[in-house]
Amino acid sequence: MPNPTAAMLVIGDEILSGRTRDANMHHLAGELTGHGVTLCEARIVSDDRAAIVAAVKALSKAYDHVFTSGGIGPTHDDITADCIAEAFGVPIDVRDDARAILQARYDAMGTDLNEARLRMARIPDGAELIENPVSGAPGFTLKNVHVMAGVPSVFQAMVATILPTITGGDPVLSQALSIMRGEGDLAGPVAKLAEDFPDLSIGSYPFQRNGAFGAQIVIRGTDGARVDAAMTRLAAEFAE
């Protein structure tokens, strides 16, 4: 059986404007790889209701899981929860269990749970909460969409919470070999290697080192013996 598939939807004008560098996709990709879930696509959309709804609908139909980051805070432009509710055609309102989590958090801090903060307790009907051990405000899962915060520390904590509940496949293994030759010299043999090992993912990533060009060949797959065999052949092909 092939591994489950996933997509990531990064939400926020600050990412598209260049003001904020996204770190969440890199973290999620690594975690999913180790869990045996194949991240097939990543999209970045602005804080635009129609764009978010359309992306959620498309991705949730195409993949086994969708992970979102951003847009679930207390401010006016945090519209992700409403968009998820719209995408699946369900109501959204303040939910008692989410409110209780926030109330306990802010009581402990001696801070008022005001109207703005209470927005973070608005959860679409039928969703399950995702624990947030960092800052309290929960994320949620509705159908196959996992909705999480954009702040990297919170996002990472939520991923750690949700991942054990997802059935994964075989972890993807990888090996890499750096070869000090230009890609033009490597292309033919590497293409033949990929042809002979169609069950593996084989990529070429060029670099420059001390003025000389080279490429790192990365071989990835779920069968360790096949990855070993392909790497052994590659190393023999380009043995100095």
Q: What is the pLDDT of residues 141-199, one digit of tens each?
A: 999 999 999 999 999 999 999 999 999 998 889 999 999 998 998 999 999 999 999 99
Dihedrals phi, psi of 15, to nearest 5 degrees: -75, -45
DSSP states along 121-171: GEEETT-EEE--TTTS--EEEETTEEEE-SSHHHHHHHHHHHGGGS---PP
- Between CA 146 and CA 141 the distance in angstroms is 4
Q: Confidence band (pLDDT; 50, 70, 90) for 224?
A: very high
From 176, 225, 236, select the one nearest 202 (Cα to Cα). 176
Residue where one domain finishes, among candidates 165, 192, 215: 165
- Between CA 34 and CA 60 the distance in angstroms is 22
- Kindly report the CATH number assigned to the domain that includes residue 203: 3.30.70
- Other CB atoms within a 10 A radius of the CB of residue 71 amount to 26
Dig out the tokens for 199 from the structure.
């069950």
User: What's the whole-number mean pLDDT along residues 118-144?
Assistant: 96
Give the number of residues written for the chain: 240
Same domain, yes or no: 132 and 37: yes
Query: How many structural domains comprise the chain?
Result: 2
Q: What is the mean pLDDT of the chain?
A: 94
- Kindly report the CATH number assigned to the domain that includes residue 26: 3.40.980.10
pLDDT tens figures, 82-122 = 999 999 999 999 999 999 999 999 999 999 999 999 999 99
Quickly count helices (H) and strands (E) in the chain.
9, 11
Same domain, yes or no: 16 and 63: yes
Residue where one domain finishes, among candidates 147, 165, 183: 165
- Between CA 167 and CA 5 the distance in angstroms is 11
Q: Is the pLDDT of residue 1 over 80?
A: no
- Between CA 178 and CA 185 the distance in angstroms is 13
Same domain, yes or no: 87 and 195: no
Same domain, yes or no: 198 and 225: yes
Residues 6 or more apart whose CB falls under 8 angstroms from that of 237 comprise 189, 193
Same domain, yes or no: 64 and 155: yes
* 237 CB-side CA count, 13 A: 20
Residue where one domain finishes, among candidates 136, 165, 194: 165
Dig out the tokens for 229 from the structure.
């065999």
Q: What range defines the domain where residue 112 resides?
A: 5-165
Same domain, yes or no: 141 and 35: yes
Same domain, yes or no: 59 and 129: yes
Please give the pLDDT value at position 240.
63
Please give the pLDDT value at position 159.
97
Same domain, yes or no: 94 and 11: yes
Note if the pTM is more than 0.85.
yes
Please give the pLDDT value at position 54.
98
Same domain, yes or no: 183 and 149: no
Same domain, yes or no: 102 and 64: yes
